[in-house]
Amino acid sequence: MLYVLRRVLAAVFVMWAAFTVTFIILYLVPGDPALLIVGGDGGVQATPEELAAVRAEYGFDQPVIVQYFQALGGVLTGNLGMSYQMRQPVTELIGAQFGSTFALAMFALVVAVVAGLVIGGAAVYTKSRILSQLLDSLPPIGASLPTFWVGLVLMQVFCFQLGWFPSAGDRGFDSLVLPGITMAIPGAASIAQVFAKSLRASSRDDYVTVATAKGASRMRVFIGHAARNALLPTITVAGMIVAGLFAYSAITESIFSRAGLGMALDNAVQAKDIPMVSGIVLVIAAVFVVTNLIVDLVYPIIDPRLRRPGASKAVRLQRGLVEA
Amino acid sequence: MSGTDPQPLLAVDDLKVSYGSRSHRTPALHGVSFSMVPGEKISIVGESGSGKSTTAHALIGLLPAGGRIDSGAVSFAGRDLTRLGDRALRAVRGAEIGLIPQDPMTSLNPVRRIGKQVEEALAVHGRAGRGVERRVLEGLRDAGLPDPERVAAQFPHELSGGMRQRVLIAIALACSPRLVIADEPTSALDVTVQRQILDHIDRVTAAEGTSMLLITHDLGVAGDRTDRIIVMNEGEIVEDGPADSVLGSPADAYTKRLLAAAPSLSSRVLYSGQTVATAETAAAGPLVSVRALRKEFHTAAGSHLAVDDVSFDIAAGETLAIVGESGSGKSTTARLLLQLEKADAGSVTLDGAELTGLSAARIRPHRLAMQMVYQSPYASLSPRFSVGDIISEPLRIHRIASAAERRRIAASLLDQVALPGSVLDRSPAELSGGQRQRVAIARALAPQPKLIVCDEAVSALDVSVQAQVLELLAEIQRERGVAYLFISHDLAVVRQIAHRVVVMRRGRVVEQGDTEATFAHPVDEYTRQLLDAIPGRQPVST
């Protein structure tokens, strides 16, 4: 129980740190936010009175520390402020975009995990040296392909030539497939690499020899012993991938003209819409923190060695997050 | 030999095995032949690299990656196992030949429950129908686990090494095989546990008439547990005969050397009867004085008293051994003495100077006088340093001597540990285990210490190398008058090297005194148990 409490506290701390760092960076960005709000079009010259009114309305005339605590208080009560650009609450704007990105990221995660496990597993299981080398060479290729290029190629082949999937939009499952695969490739590559590496290590473990000496078949030893242990480090990698899927969704969303957090972040940065940027960054940080929390909590369920008091350090050792 | 029996259970004929890649192969077995009749118990004895484990694994087709049977036959109950297909071989493994592996700590799957792992041994041979749970529990009970229901529901990490080895025995015997191959089944266990496990294997195999092939490096174990001993060296069988005659009147030169090197409670004592500095020390007091040391470790799981009220002295030029089983606190005591760990209470004085409570900076000058040799010569030498750099590092750290001078010192130390000067510029990776341990000893000698702590310093070495290193340590002591604190679990080794001995159990000293007297007339019950558990205790005539 202490373990759970500590992990939750650590998660809260990371959220606070993410918020604070974002606040500081955006505060230091040059430019007067009041000017941005008033002169949205750029052409109109705002009067000093108008600027002063805006400053008072948004609290820019307050000392920075007051602004910080007001913003922090807002976050704690679920109020992320007003978008300069849209003149709507950031919470509402993000809420409208989140679902689309969430669906895309989850689909991409499933694709990445399945493809990663199959490729990594097959590379180790096959007795053919050539096939094994071929499968081993896929992850480095996948990791080095630029996402935008993959997206464009997939679109060219499957939309324009074969016509199987729509090239744009965010309605229905069909529209998820191509952007989902595009986003999944780097993740699948990391999972395949880590899984294959752990499998090769666990295949040399003594318990694998013992299982073989029992008379178990190769498949049974592979799935029941080697793969089961090799999954542990793979889960850590899968957890890290999730946050990346949200953070880098902008590229894929813009190629496939999907609404979503990535596109919204892109727009907000272009328009210097500070509350919107900080809101989205905060949401992505939250996704990162929550997935890591889930991985931390799931780990002891999968690895019984960690179900004991004082296992927190052991979990993080196992996950390779800290050095021994 | 028993080759005349009409129907041998196992007949190995001219077995050749090699390791390596397709283009470059190193032979490991050069034509091994032996046979055994049903119910027979045979040991294969040899040092590392002798091919004893390779033989065991080749029999059941479990050679590690890169290993291949080049020629020869393994006929088991009339079938040649080397020619069986995968499916047919699987039907033999586990069902007809069981394997008890070497290291119980790594041989069970850490994420699966014990019961399931025993059950699998039955399930893969189609014996997991009705009543399988009852059979699993029976198997665990037969393996000497008192509470099988509880154990079946546990995971490997919840069991001690001895209990895990019992589980592995239950797995190996689950299908009542006709032959059990035990590959160093107890070398990772404490001596008292080792004895229980070997007794247990004896009992169950005797009850079922199971044949046993015992792979071991320990001649004492081989003599105690089997009727026939096969001695292997460099991939060949050098001697094969009844245990009594192999141990009593060995025919082969290698067997003779092996027997001479193996420490036992009757082997020659190496230390000099008189400690070098007796006269001076009487006046000056002990070199090291440890008083009422105490150390408690705190974890979230609770606190654990690792060292409890430990006191002893080490005279200059003397060897004091601390013996005990795992968890006895012997290594923690050494770390406290060296100030690598802070004691909760108690004092350590070196040459009259109090060390406990000193700041890190103030301890540093004292560190020169206390050096250490570790257990694993593979882990304790940096692979990126040359041998010369390794030996002179303590001098470099303490800014002693010029670079040229340090090199000269390193070369003379190499000479002292009987290594050729040519290894000075080589990397430790090019050296054997015994040579590496000599380098570690040379490093410890470099700052001319008064005390060297040897933490299981010969435990990882083969007996013949072990004997040489022990000789070297004794010789260095005679010449330089250095004192040793010798941490060991091996009482036979301790008897050879140590003037005095401290027996520890669960953090406390249960007995201490003159080694010879203590071993001849142990006062404490636990010391007696430790001595009784030493294999080969009934000394075979030497």
Q: For B5-54, what is each residue's pLDDT tens digit?
A: 458 899 999 999 998 888 888 899 999 999 999 999 999 999 888 899 99
pLDDT of residue B21: 81
Give the least confident one: A94-103, B188-197, B268-277. Answer: B268-277
Q: Are the C-beta atoms of residues B466 and B438 closer than 8 Å to each other?
A: no
Tokens standing for residue B469? 């290193």
At residue B269, does pLDDT exceed 90? no
Give the least confident one: A38-47, A185-194, B109-118, B511-520. Answer: A38-47
B57-66: per-residue pLDDT in tens?
A: 999 999 888 8
Which chain B residue's Cα is nearest to A312?
B300
A120 burial via Cβ count (<10 Å: 0-12, 13-18, 19+)? buried
Contact call for B64 and A213, based on CB within 8 A:
no
pLDDT of residue A111: 96
A173 burial via Cβ count (<10 Å: 0-12, 13-18, 19+)? exposed
Contact call for A206 and B90, based on CB within 8 A:
no
Report CA-CA distances (Å) from B465 to A138, B271, B429, B438: 48, 18, 18, 10
Average pLDDT estimate for B287-299: 89
Contact call for B103 and A308, based on CB within 8 A:
no
B474-488: per-residue pLDDT in tens?
A: 999 999 899 999 999
Q: Give the DSSP letter of residue A305.
A: G
Contact call for A215 and B94, based on CB within 8 A:
yes
A260-273: per-residue pLDDT in tens?
A: 888 888 888 888 78
At residue B189, does pLDDT exceed 50? yes
Domains annotated on chain A, with CATH: 2-90 (no CATH), 101-318 (1.10.3720.10)
B301 closest CB neighbour out of A212, A214, A309: A309
Q: Are the C-beta atoms of residues B112 and A228 closer than 8 Å to each other?
A: yes
pLDDT of residue A249: 86
Q: Which of B53, B59, B93, B109 to mutate to test the interface with A (most CBs of A within 10 A)?
A: B109
Task: Map residue B306 onto helix, strand or coil.
Answer: strand
pLDDT of residue B219: 86
Which residues partner with B229 through β-bridges?
Answer: B43, B241
**H or E segment at B33?**
strand B25-36
| Chain A residues closer than 8 Å to B101 by CB | 206, 209-210, 213
B385-422: per-residue pLDDT in tens?
A: 999 999 999 999 988 889 899 999 999 999 988 888 88
Show the DSSP H helices in chain A as ranges: 2-28, 33-38, 48-58, 64-76, 90-125, 129-144, 147-154, 174-203, 206-213, 218-221, 228-247, 249-255, 261-270, 274-302, 312-318
pLDDT of residue B82: 92
Tokens standing for residue B315? 């005279």
How many Cβ pairs closer than 8 A exist between chain A and B?
A: 93
DSSP class per residue in B463-489? HHHHHHHHHHHHHHHHHH--EEEEEES
Contact call for A213 and B300, based on CB within 8 A:
no
pLDDT of residue B539: 42
A286-318: per-residue pLDDT in tens?
A: 888 898 888 888 888 888 887 765 554 555 555
Strand-by-strand arrangement of the B288-299 sheet: B302-314, B288-299, B345-350, B353-354
- What is the rounded distance in angstroms from the CA atom of residue B143 to the CA atom of residue B171? 9
Band (A44; pLDDT cuts 50, 70, 90): low
| Chain B residues closer than 8 Å to A210 by CB | 99, 101, 107-108, 168, 171
A228 burial via Cβ count (<10 Å: 0-12, 13-18, 19+)? middle
Q: Are the C-beta atoms of residues B33 and B237 closer than 8 Å to each other?
A: yes
Q: Which of A5, A214, A312, A316 to mutate to test the interface with B (most CBs of B within 10 A)?
A: A214
| Cβ of residue B67 closer than 8 Å to a chain A Cβ | no
How distant is the alpha carbon of residue B263 from its chain centre?
A: 13
pLDDT of residue B3: 44
| Chain B residues closer than 8 Å to A215 by CB | 90-95, 121, 124-125
Average pLDDT estimate for A162-168: 81
A72-101: per-residue pLDDT in tens?
A: 888 888 888 888 777 888 888 898 888 889
At residue A323, does pLDDT exceed 60? no
Average pLDDT taken over every residue of chain A = 85
Q: What percent of chain B has pLDDT over 90?
A: 52
> Which is more confidently placed, A26 or B363?
B363
- What is the rounded distance in angstroms from the CA atom of residue B284 to the CA atom of residue B530? 35
Average pLDDT estimate for B97-110: 92
- What is the rounded distance in angstroms from the CA atom of residue B228 to the CA atom of residue B237? 13
Range from A20-34, A54-68, A77-91, A211-225 that averages highest in pLDDT: A211-225
Domain with CATH 3.40.50.300 in chain B: 1-96+213-261, 278-369+449-532
pLDDT of residue A322: 43
pLDDT of residue B283: 60
What's the fold here for domain B278-369+449-532? Answer: Rossmann fold (3.40.50)
Average pLDDT estimate for B153-157: 91
Q: Are the C-beta atoms of residues B489 and B503 closer than 8 Å to each other?
A: no
| Chain B residues closer than 8 Å to A216 by CB | 90, 94, 120, 124
Domain range B1-96+213-261, its CATH number among 3.40.50.720, 1.10.230.10, 3.40.50.970, 3.40.50.300: 3.40.50.300
Q: Give the DSSP letter of residue B430.
A: G
At residue A58, does pLDDT exceed 50? yes
| Cβ of residue B155 closer than 8 Å to a chain A Cβ | yes
A99-135: per-residue pLDDT in tens?
A: 889 999 999 999 999 999 999 999 999 989 899 999 9
Q: What percent of chain B has pLDDT over 70?
A: 94
Residue written as token pair 């206390």: B370
Q: Are the C-beta atoms of residues B366 and B353 closer than 8 Å to each other?
A: yes
Tokens standing for residue B312? 């002893």
A132-149: per-residue pLDDT in tens?
A: 999 999 999 998 999 889
Residue written as token pair 């190496």: B270
> Which is more confidently placed, B49 or B137?
B137
Tokens standing for residue B162? 């001895």
A226-244: per-residue pLDDT in tens?
A: 998 999 889 889 888 887 8
Average pLDDT estimate for A23-31: 81
Q: Chain B closest CA to A200's CA: distance in Å?
A: 11
- What is the rounded distance in angstroms from the CA atom of residue B168 to the CA atom of residue B117? 9
Q: How far apart are the first and last CA of chain B?
A: 23
Q: Are the C-beta atoms of residues A211 and A202 closer than 8 Å to each other?
A: no
At residue B276, does pLDDT exceed 50? no
- What is the rounded distance in angstroms from the CA atom of residue A221 to the CA atom of residue B393? 47
- What is the rounded distance in angstroms from the CA atom of residue A268 to the CA atom of residue A282? 14
- What is the rounded distance in angstroms from the CA atom of residue B236 to the CA atom of residue B229? 14
| Cβ of residue B410 closer than 8 Å to a chain A Cβ | no
- What is the rounded distance in angstroms from the CA atom of residue A47 to the CA atom of residue A5? 53
